Amino acid sequence: MNQHRVMGYIYAASGAALFSTKAIFIKLAYMEQTNAALMLALRMAISLPFFVGVGVYAVIKLRREERSLPSLDMFIRAILVGFVGYYISSQLDFAGLIFISAQLERLVLFTYPIFVMFLGWLFFKARITWLSVLAAAITYAGLVVVFLSALPTGGRNTIIGTVLVLGCAITFAAYQLFAKKLISNMGSMLFTSIALSASGVACMAHYIVVSRSFDFSSSPRFFWLSAGTAIFATVIPSFLVNAGLSRTTPQTTSMIATISPLITIALAVWILGEPFTLADAMGSAMVIAGVSLYAWADSRRSQGTSSALGAPSPKEKGVII
């Protein structure tokens, strides 16, 4: 097998594995201090210099190629779309993890491609195939199984946390649909830099408003876990996934990403001591199977025609939240 392609598989798998550690870092930090706004602010503050640097590089590259910069209107739209996709989504996600397990959070968040399909159909007149509907049915049936398994012990918290993370998945799906045209015009590097930088500033401003303070101090453990979320679950995996995409196809990278919930489940059981029952195993298998079926069906369709869903290919996507 071509060594270049093998390295692509390794980069993509490593990126997916690191992305899956996000919920573990967050749950460990919440054992120290339950403060979603502060942790998200620290995560974005630490990540911000990297993404600003990427944006500066993208601008310099455009100048060297004697290409014009995007219009002010396009910059503003990128900021607004990033606000939805990263600020609102991340706030919902981090808040949801206060109430539910890392396993359930990852499985709920993993369903966002199905929301891309439905939102594309509702607002962009995208076509939905029967195979995609079957994939969605399998996915959400599995999610219901895991949810009902967690409900007796979690009760009201399970409902609140699941609704919050579902909101995160929906807003991130909307982000991907609205980002498609901007990414095509601006390039994924510049768009991602603007979207993440703007949302990072918004997350820090959010903390200042809700805490009524400019004090970002925390315990050393909380800070380093926040830093771990920023570096190991945000910055490094984003570059690894991009490196994988440059060596393989978007469809391959998308299928490799299905290992993410499996790794989160394994780490949650091992590090956090979360229970994993037979019902959890059955539901998780159904969710992963459903999303995998959807990704396979979409990749087959996109190989011959433009995507029927109106969603950006994995190569066009930014950082996974």
Calpha distance 197→271 (Å, rounded): 31
Of the candidates 321, 316, 230, 314, the one whose C-alpha atom is nearest the C-alpha of residue 12 is 314
Write the DSSP assignment of 44-63 as a string of letters. HHHHHHHHHHHHHHHHHHHH
Q: Which two tokens stand for residue 307?
A: 């995507």
Q: Give pLDDT, residue 308.
A: 42
Task: Render each residue's pLDDT in the chain as its tens digit; 321 residues.
Answer: 577 778 878 887 888 889 899 999 999 999 999 999 999 999 999 999 999 999 999 999 998 988 888 889 999 999 999 898 889 999 999 999 999 999 999 999 988 888 888 888 888 777 888 888 898 899 999 999 999 999 988 899 999 999 999 999 999 888 888 887 888 888 888 888 898 899 999 999 999 999 998 989 899 999 999 999 999 998 888 888 767 766 776 556 666 777 888 899 999 999 999 999 999 999 999 999 988 888 777 767 666 554 443 444 444 444 456
Calpha distance 107→99 (Å, rounded): 15
Distance, CA of 237 to chain centre:
11
Burial annotation 105-117 (CB, 10 A radius, 16+ → b, else e): bbbbbbbbbbbbb
CA-based torsion, 316, 318, 320, 321: positive or negative:
negative
Q: Give pLDDT, residue 219.
A: 92
Q: What are phi and psi of 111, to 5 degrees?
A: -85, 5
Q: Give pLDDT, residue 91.
A: 94
CB atoms within 10 A of CB 303: 9
User: Exposure of 73 by Cβ count < 10 A (0-12 exposed, 13-18 middle, 19+ buried)?
Assistant: exposed
Write the DSSP symbol of residue 248: S
Calpha distance 193→54 (Å, rounded): 6
Q: Give pLDDT, residue 282.
A: 94
Q: Which two tokens stand for residue 33?
A: 């201090």
Of the candidates 59, 62, 61, 23, the one whose C-alpha atom is nearest the C-alpha of residue 43 is 23
The model's pTM is 0.86
